[in-house]
Structure 1
Amino acid sequence: MSGRKIAVIGGSVLVAGCLTAVGLYATDTLPTESREAKAGASVPKGPIHPNWDTAGAVLETSAVEEASASSTGDLGDALEDLLDEPALGESVGVSVVPLGGGDAVYRTDADGAHTPASTLKILTGTAVLDVLAPDHRFVTRVVLADQADGEEVEITLVGGGDPLLASTEDETSLPGAASLDELATATAAALDDAGASAARVTFDDGLFSGPAVDPDWRSTYVPGGVVGPVNALSVDGARATPGMRERVDDPARTAAERFSDMLDASGIDVRGDDPERVTADPQAPDLASVSSPRLSTIVEYMMSTSNNDVAEALFRHVAVGRGQPGTSEDASGAVTDVIAGLGVDMDGVRILDGSGLARGNTVTASSLVTVLGIAADAERPDLRPVLTGLPVSGFNGTLADRAVDNGAGYVRAKTGTLTGVHSLAGLAVTAQGTVYVFALLADDADHGVEARAALDEFAAALVS
């Protein structure tokens, strides 16, 4: 398999050599951000963005080579042998199909319901892109609530559900992500221009509602730092200290307190003991605002890092974007409706959250493969970030340290892991240019290391 040099930097897809037509991969260097995050912190930092040209198209399905019947038959036999691995357990769903259509290469219990773990994020990312569009940005605002006199005003910090909002620019996860210190500086300047030297700070986190901790999660998830309370005004992933696992109980109040301290440090006399939770007047004029990166970039980040906090915020945005309350329950129905509306068979699919942490979630291997195929459709470029964000084996994201034999660089897939659950779903490209869409779900796999190795062997077999 010589002749293909590949790398993916920061979710941008770069192209060289014989993969230009397929457009999945690119050349030159190996990103290290995932390894660094894994070794030294609990919050992965943003990827490097070199000044390289991106591919004109991620997938040109018309240029994909078709596999011969004999080759697919041999491949099916090889995959059958690999699935005999005892570590995968007795409950396995698999679907492998050529990208762009054609007969399935391999299926076993492809329509059976299985626990997806984080491969559910494929559905979350697809749904939010379909509802909000790739260019959408989440805005955190400060509005003028009341002007008591010429010098003192009341202002309200309004959360827009930005899942990457950080305390400071140094703590941002991606280039261009918004921060509270940036907002505080802009607010102080606006108040100074208005002749106000003192302010009382209130906050509005009402965009999302319902339980902040999903009742379908295990009780250990939030205390253990696996995910934080879901809130529309959260900074640093609701962490007590940026980069650490401990989460705060009230993310919005914590954000408002940090903002107040920053505003005070910017020269505004912040009065009052504790910020009050309020409902902002929709007609209140904006004083300052900061915006998130484009939704396409956020989805790529979520897919690559498997960030649970981002996934849960985007999950609720699907409901809000459809004019429904921003609750987990409403989001469940909204995402289900959106995915069904794309033409996906939802038999066996049950969506309870956006991250895949809820063990009551179920998907089918066929449903994942169908959604990935839709995201690759030339008629749906708006869904493409679901694919461009997929980790690349041996190179980045949650597959940075996972590659078997000649599989490094040729497999792009979303991982999924819970205790006893191991899954992998994505794309694999052969030396001949054939691209396969695949999903493997094993939800009775108690031997984690061996099960993960079996998944990687399966994916590598698709490209050999």
Structure 2
Amino acid sequence: MKQYPRLALLALLICLLPTFVTAQEKESVQHIFDEWSKTSVLDQASIGFYAIDAKTGELLGASTPQLSMAPASILKLITTSTALELLGADYQFETKLAYIGKLSGDTLNGDLVIVAGGDPALGSKYFKDYKPYQNFVGHWAEVIEKLGIKHITGNLIIDSSVYDDQSIPATWIWEDMGNYYGAGVFGLSAYDNTYVIHFSSPATAGEQTRIEYTLPVLPNVDFDNRVLSSDENRDQAYVFGSPLDTKRVIRGTIPKDRTDFAVKASIPDPPLLVGTQLMQELALKQIDMSGEVRCDIVEKPEGLVTVSTIKSPRLSQIIDVTNHESVNLFAEHFLKHMAYVTTGLGTTETGIDLVTEFWKQKGMDTKGLFMEDGSGLSRFNTISAKQMVFMLNYMKNESVNSEAFFNSLPTVPNGTLWYFNQNNFPRQALRAKSGSMTRVRSFAGQLKTQSKRTVLFAILLNNFSCSQSQAIKTIEQLLVDIEHQ
């Protein structure tokens, strides 16, 4: 009889053991973060951290107070998740070739028209095997040829009116916008809105380099090349110029003694480039056009006769690339396209309002969430770690697009997580998007611990005084320590 109280106490302890373990783990994550934040290389840094249990929603650890901080490219997670929710994983962009006028024998008495549909990936290097994209300009020329057309009396009109004419968000800096990662968004974008400048450099440092050619060849662009050769074995050349501007100034250095050194830059006028290429393809087929390439709005769209429609890959496939490779252009397209689908005109400002309102309606406290673009390239963007984890939690537990979203996040050592040690995160323990710019380094995603708990987390560092590589190693150590729980 005297043993019953002991047995009852033992049974009670066994029942409460999971609660004790859970509490200990919660304290452990917080303790790990608290100790980590004291690391000397972070003495001058602003730190944002938030982590929850993906299954229960329990808070595991957080920085206090929750600061609004520059997120860099992890802001793409807000944009891509919203695009999946508002447009759907299977959404496809469409680009149409049409004509307006009358066919008479082998003559089109009218205009040839490209009706842009905001496709961010048309001709993209990331979708080389996607059949509709293979030489899409040549395909259009073949379509015209098969119609028996030999003469076109009008112009080649490119209607890009799905988006507004401000292709660059207002707060992007001058150094970014001429380079490939700062490419502008157009209703008709193509080839990732990127071209490659091929340089040669002399054998001696400090001397003038030479531009050999560009791919693709750009119409009406004047280059002012001020790039010098250097002893440093890396690309330090920057291209300066605004969208639609025909002049490009190139400054900086490239390695000396190179016969072919490639530098990527942003195409100033993608619609004009595509139009020029189509004119050239038509000429090769001996189809003459009396007019010229014009970027304009078709006044009477009801008179259009569509002869070809190119559909993009599914939205989820484009988002896979966006988050895996951190493609700014694609994210900016999504932002404008959500606005276009909702209002009939794609603008960055309307897209931002839609994204913010969407998450507010889902219950996010959006105070301190300031979006200036969809990609995170603007330094005026701010978000808290808690807001980022709110989105991750919604996409994990409430969204029908949960699998598509989390599958878009790279695992070690792929995509933007190539610099992490795979041995530290076996069996795809970490799925996360990274973000970086000068004095900014951030990560957000999910981490599976050794105790089989899935942690949703966000970590943001701003204004650290250490090097980027030190910041990366420091954050990796934090994630390793949490993974070991």
Same fold (TM over 0.5): yes
Residue aligned with 1:93, SS: strand
Which aligned pairs between 1:356-435 and structure 2 lie closer than 5 A? 356-377=376-397, 379-394=398-413, 396-403=414-421, 406-408=424-426, 409-435=428-454
Name the counterpart of 1:119: 74
1:164 to 115, 121, 126: 121
| Residue-by-residue CA offset, 1:121-153 (whole Å, 9 max, x unaligned) | 010001111111010001111011223633232
Equivalent position SS for 2:92? coil
Q: Write the mapping of 1:231-380 to structure 2, written as runs, cut at 5 A.
A: 231-240=186-195, 241=215, 245-265=264-284, 267=285, 269-272=287-290, 274-280=292-298, 281-283=300-302, 284-377=304-397, 379-380=398-399
2:147 counterpart of 1:194: yes
The question of whether the paired residues in 2 share the 8 Å contact of 1:229 and 1:251 is answered with: no
Q: Which amino acid aligns with 1:198?
A: H
Deviation at 1:273, TM superposition (A): 6.0
Q: Any stretches of 5+ residues in structure 1 without a counterpart?
A: 1-64
Matching residue's letter, 1:125: T
Question: What's the offset of the Cα at 1:404?
Answer: 7.0
Measured after TM superposition, the shift of residue 337 of structure 1 is 1.5
Q: SS of the residue aligned with 2:420? A: coil
Structure having the larger proportion of residues in strand: 2
> 1:131, 1:322 within 8 Å by CA — same for their partners in 2?
no
Residue 335 of structure 1 deviates from its aligned partner by 1.6
Matching residue's letter, 2:130 = G
Q: Distance in 2 between matches of 1:285 and 1:446?
A: 60
Alignment partner for residue 23 of structure 2, among 69, 78, 98?
A: 69
Secondary structure in 2 aligned to 1:376? helix
Structure 2 distance, partners of 1:337, 1:272, is: 49
Kept in 1, the 8 Å contact 2:448–2:483? The answer is yes
Contact 1:413 / 1:427 at 8 angstroms: preserved in 2? yes
Counterpart of 1:254, as a letter, is L
Root-mean-square deviation (CA), in Å? 2.3
Q: Secondary structure at the match of 1:246?
A: strand
SS at match of 1:337: helix
Q: Rg bigger for which structure?
A: 2
What whole-Å deviation, never above 9, does each CA across 1:57-105 have from its counterpart, x for those lacking one? Answer: xxxxxxxx99722123223212221122233333111001100234211
Deviation (angstroms), 1:458: 1.5
- AA aligned opposite 2:100: A
Taking the aligned partners of 1:264 and 1:343, their CA distance within structure 2 comes to: 57
Given residue 95 of structure 2, which amino acid in structure 1 is its aligned partner?
A: T
Work out whether residues 311 and 354 of structure 1, in 8 Å CA contact, stay in contact via their aligned partners in 2.
yes
**1:159-214 Cα deviation digits (max 9, x unpaired):** 111111117xxx453542742723542x3444344332233422111111041122
Q: Gapped runs of 5+ residues in structure 2?
A: 1-18, 196-214, 217-261
TM-score between the two structures when normalised by the length of structure 1: 0.79
What residue in structure 2 maps to residue 37 of structure 1? none
Q: How many angstroms apart in 2 are the aligned matches of 1:382 and 1:110?
A: 31
Is the alpha carbon distance of 1:298 and 1:368 closer, same or farther for their aligned partners in structure 2, counting shifts above 3 Å? Answer: same
Paired with 2:457 and 2:144, the residues of 1 have a C-alpha distance of 55
- Tell me the percent identity: 23
TM-score normalised to the size of structure 2?
0.76
State how many pairs are aligned. 393
Q: Which whole-Å CA distance do the structure 2 matches of 1:461 and 1:128 have between them? A: 33
